[in-house]
Amino acid sequence: MSIIETEAALHEAHRDNHTHRDVNGGWLRPAVFGAMDGLVSNLALMTGVAGGSVSHRTIVITGLVGLAAGAFSMAAGEYTSVASQRELVEAELDVERRELRKHPKDEERELAALYESRGVEPALAREVASQLSRDPEQALEIHAREELGIDPGDLPSPAVAAVSSFGSFALGALLPLLPYLLGATVLWPALLLALIGLFACGAIVARVTARSWWYSGIRQLALGGAAAGVTYVLGSLFGTAVG
């Protein structure tokens, strides 16, 4: 069995017997935080307008406009951010790809030196670097991970990021608006549903943190409730001043 095959077998055994919490949160974290952002921002916007003693129609229009504006803004910002990051990564990969093509031995020695710096015996480090460098694509992947900290085969998609941000934000922003769309004419049903949603989002976030679900839920409930309370007071003050 080769060194690479032995390393892969050991990694597989380690993975089966030793697991960690998903510290990056996978898809759950950005989805929940996107929904939470939409919920808090639209709730605060609607309560601020409601504090100004406006009509039911005005509150509904404000909520719909806040949902659309926020969702499109999030999608555009996320697309631009991820696209720029991906373009930068691809440019750096092109640099590394050219170096591997023009100076393969130098890159192999660089990889061996890296393993030596991590405690691998020099002879073994050279052998591992030699085996890994036989396949140009594998060599590129290894150098990218070791030098840039990225996986060339797992680059984020700007379109997926934009669509998911749009959807999660819109879902969160819809929650305080839903009671009005179902016929409510006062603020408290929307406020109650939004606060329940805030607690639920906080509890779900606890899945990717070390906190208990009730602590995360109460914390998010308090923060979102405070935002709604402040904007309601400001809306009341501005409504009185304008009136």
What the block records as the tokens of 138 is: 């594998």
**31-80 pLDDT, tens per residue?**
778 899 999 999 999 999 999 888 989 999 999 999 999 999 999 999 99
Helix (H, G, I), strand (E, B) or coil at 55: coil
Q: Which residues fall within 8 angstroms of residue 238, CB to CB, at 6 or more apart?
A: 52
Sign of CA pseudo-dihedral 87, 89, 95, 98: negative
| Predicted confidence (pLDDT) at residue 179 exceeds the cutoff of 90 | yes
pTM equals 0.76
From 230, 233, 227, select the one nearest 41 (Cα to Cα): 227
**112-154 pLDDT, tens per residue?**
898 898 888 999 989 988 998 888 888 888 888 887 888 888 8
28, burial (CB in 10 Å: exposed 0-12, middle 13-18, buried 19+): middle
Q: Exposure pattern of 199-234 as b/e (b: 16+ CB <10 Å)? A: bbbbbbbbebeeeebeebbebbbeebbebbeebbee
The CA distance from 134 to 71, in Å, is: 47
> Greater confidence, 127 or 16?
127
| Predicted confidence (pLDDT) at residue 17 exceeds the cutoff of 70 | no
Domain ranges for the chain: 27-232
